[in-house]
Chains A and B, each alone.
Chain A
Amino acid sequence: MLSYFLRRLLMAIPVMFFVAVFVFLLLRLTPGDPAQAIAGDQASLAQLEAIRESLGLNEPLSVQFVTWIGQMLQGDFGRSLISDRPVLEMIGQRLGPTLALALVAMAMTLLIALPMGVLAAWRHGGMTDRLVMAVSVIGFSVPIFVIGYVLIGVFAVHLRWFPVQGYKALADGIGPFAHRIFLPGLALASIYIALISRMTRASMLEVLREDYVRTARAKGLPEGLVLFRHALRNAAIPILTVVGTGFAMMISGVVVTETVFNIPGLGRLVVDAVLARDYPLIQAIILLTAGTYVLINLAIDLSYALTDPRIRYQ
């Protein structure tokens, strides 16, 4: 298992290098000028040229690339062209809210979607099944921003149970944190609740037809135990795959949620960086995101072995 883990980590190096080259070139081919983002619309060409020169943007692309890669190998992701702040410091400021939002949304998803899917499969064809499927269709069909606005309108503006916007870190207390993260977490979770409840239902339906489930029931085991210990565990592999890819997709979903609920997270940072053509910042965020994807995929692969003893990695 350890050698498999290390081999997968080594394989990530060329992947990350390819991502680095691709992102670097793609950004340079995209029209736009960071100097203009700093100097504003009314700046003269001479002013823009002075800024470009000081930022090193007039250097040949190969020189810029080698400089950037060299800095990164020393753990230096560079400074933002626009704010002149260290890129890692800026990402550090924004990482917490995004991670908190994604984790809360994923926790809500699992807490709501798994029982929903199991229930729907158990009561296959009945009212519960239809209700779960209806909720799932709504979750798929309604965009996150609409769900966000509806939640704000009902629970924040009308009922005043929650604040309309903003974020409090866990360090400010569990109460304020939960109070502010609940609605955005639910909005972001909505589509994943739909996705994972459907996947759980489909996977459970297959497993519930297996002989060992019939045997477990014949032995007189309580239905809850049959469903959640025997059936769900065996249905877990496709669900885990979707949870893994869903978590990765969630990183992109946070952009909309962060905007609607005004959460100062990575999603908004990356949109800002793209609009301002802040190359080092975009490059660093994309590399970190790619690294996260690689690690999540690895974690999912490893979790298969934990849920299914037949799977062994060499």
Chain B
Amino acid sequence: MTFHPLKSLGLAALLAGTIALPAWAETTLTAVMQAPLRSLDPHLSTAQIVRTHGFMVFETLLGMDADYQPQPQMADYVVSDDMLTYTLTLREGLMWHDGTPVTAEDCVASLMRWSQSDGSAKTMMQYVDSIEATSERELVIHMKSPFGPLLELLAKPSPIPAFMMPKRLADTPVGEQIPEIIGSGPFKFVADDYRPGDQAVYVKNEDYVPREEPASWTAGAKVVNVDRVVWQAMPDMQTSINAIQSGDVDLIEQVTIDLLPLLAMNDEVETGILNPLGAQVTGRFNHRLPPFDDPEVRKAAMYALDQETLMQTAIGNSEYYQLCPSIYGCEVPLASDVGAEYLEGSADERMAKAQELLAASGYDGTPVLMMQPTDLTVLTTQPIVAAERMREAGFTVEVASMDWSTLQSRKNGWQPVAEGGWNYFFTYWGVAGIWNPLVHSLINGSGDDNSWAGWPVNARMEELRADYLTAGTLDEQKQIAEEIQQIAWDDSFYFNAGEFKSVAAWRTELQDIQSGPITLFWGVHK
């Protein structure tokens, strides 16, 4: 046997290289999210994708568990017997991603900024006397009068959660975006790798100390088991399906229902519902303009519309939608059957009732302008079906097609239709954004210019919404919530067009995926 010194040297180098390789290899979870991430300030946006981004980087003082209960997260709390003083003590070891400690002063500044942008927090502030930092780790909220849902508000996951950030960022005026993304959460945002609308990258926060309680929604131990999470935007769903099948991505947050059969044939991909709350589709009347300024005409339209038909055309597969009269979502603590009479009977029977009511209302044939978004799959079909049902009932309906951005902007104006106004449109709400009368924007009965589009006016509704805030027990809250629901149906605030669940897909390499009101990236292994 001949000895080849060069070959031996090469082999030795190769072996050395092999041995020198780390036993640890970086794990990256690549996900296609439901929308591209274009802005990053979680106090400024109600968009779901910004909220999910918020929970990656930032934390809330309290978290919401799967039983809809607020739980200590960044802080433990004590409530005085008279419900007027809330003392929150930050847990030890909390650090911002820039290496500075989290202080009570930071949290006070964050609460102040949050309360200027979130609607329900603004309401809360009417009951707050002061919020002050009493030490490095303790802050105290003094109330003018008891405010039942305060803890729930601090823990709420939607639409704008009470995220904490360093004071220097929280001092940014509320209309401006924060200049840096520095939180104290389980992931750090990698600003250098961020491409707005295309890619966002997060790395595990090695300094993060999780709580000891088991993880449950946004509460408990947020244990991160991957090193990097990459969010990739893919505007084309077929491309996403190809990518998960080839292993380019690990998770698709929302798969369109019609493409699910493509994944069903692949053993390496699982599908399921990660957000058990789902979303409710709502058809909104413009209460300021004819013909829907007349409650009798609105009621006729309510009978003309049909949950089953609308869900069938939009979602198709009944496994992923649910019909119920609850305006808070079908499976939340406040869900009830109040108002079910408006959904009773077959579609034909309800149409007959609609025709009868419309004839009796004296409707003069004023055209209904129904806005239809053409670039949002889940809301494209409802206006067409609804317009047809309304026409059958006797309405004159004109469907105006436009992109979602135009619709969103147009809905905010109440000028006559000829000058760019509107009469009716559909949108959808994550159930976490409507699950109680405090966060639910559609049941605002003040008619205030600044309230969410539609502007219904109902004094009794406003009394009840105020009563809900001071209700002491869950039973009391439920009773008020039911009366609110009855009014929402009776006065035709809007049409609840049914609830649907989003289906996620993930490769089988992913284990222990958590369910929650948003997609959670802690707990999961790859």
Contacts and interface: CB of A to CB of B under 8 A. Distances in A.
B408 A36 contact: yes
Contact of A84 (B39, B235, B412): B39
B377 interface: no
A55 B173 CA distance: 12
Contact of A41 (B46, B196, B199, B248): B46
Q: Which of B236, B410, B420 has the most CB of A within 10 A?
A: B236
Given A31-B406, A32-B405, A83-B38, A264 B199 contact: yes
Contacts of B117: 47, 50
B367 interface: no
B446 to A, nearest CB: 12
Contact of A164 (B174, B242, B412, B452): B242
A82 B248 contact: no
Contacts of A260: 236, 238-239
B70 interface: no
A170 to B, nearest CB: 18
A268 B239 CA distance: 14
A261 B39 contact: no
Given A32-B409, A83-B38, A272-B38, A264 B242 contact: no
Interface string A32-58: 110011111111111110111111000
Interface residues of A, number: 52
Contact of B406 (A32, A52, A85): A32
Contacts of B232: 262
B429 interface: yes
A27 to B, nearest CB: 12
A37 B405 contact: yes
B175 A264 contact: no
A41 B411 CA distance: 10
Contacts of A85: 196
A46 B177 CA distance: 16
A42 B433 contact: yes
Contacts of B412: 33, 36, 45, 48
Contact of A33 (B44, B50, B408, B451): B408
Contacts of A271: 235
Contacts of B140: none
A44 B199 contact: no
Given A36-B408, A42-B441, A165-B239, A82 B38 contact: yes
Interface in B227-251: 232, 234-236, 238-239, 242-243, 245-246, 248
Main secondary structure of the interface of B (DSSP, over half): loop
B15 interface: no
B297 to A, nearest CB: 25
Given A39-B46, A44-B450, A54-B173, A31 B236 contact: no
A1 B433 CA distance: 66
Contacts of B40: 83
Contact of B45 (A38, A149, A268): A38
Q: Which of B175, B195, B406, B433 has the most CB of A within 10 A?
A: B175
Interface in B332-358: none
B38 A259 contact: no
A275 B246 contact: no
A69 B116 CA distance: 34
Q: Which of B179, B242, B427, B429 has the most CB of A within 10 A?
A: B242
Contacts of A261: 239
A310 to B, nearest CB: 49
A94 B245 contact: no
Given A33-B409, A54-B175, A262-B243, A268 B197 contact: yes
Nearest to B242: A164
B452 A44 contact: yes
A139 B146 CA distance: 71
B159 A276 contact: no
B46 A259 contact: no
Nearest to B404: A275
Interface in B169-205: 173-177, 179, 195-199
B441 A82 contact: no
B449 A45 contact: yes
Nearest to B236: A259
B392 interface: no
A262 B234 contact: yes
Nearest to A47: B117
Interface string B435-478: 00000010000000111100000000000000000000000000
A157 B246 CA distance: 7
B44 A39 contact: yes
Interface in A152-201: 152, 156-157, 160, 163-166
A275 B159 contact: no
A64 interface: no
Interface string A244-275: 00000000000000011110100011011001
Given A50-B175, A90-B196, A276 B38 contact: yes
Contacts of A166: 243, 248
A47 B174 CA distance: 8
Contacts of B248: 163-166
A42 B410 CA distance: 14
Given A45-B450, A46-B450, A93-B195, A157 B406 contact: no
16 contacts: A31-B409, A32-B406, A36-B412, A37-B405, A39-B44, A40-B47, A44-B119, A46-B450, A80-B196, A83-B197, A84-B177, A156-B246, A163-B248, A164-B246, A264-B195, A271-B235
Smallest CB-CB A-B distances: 8 pairs: A54-B175, A40-B46, A50-B175, A40-B47, A83-B196, A42-B46, A33-B409, A164-B242
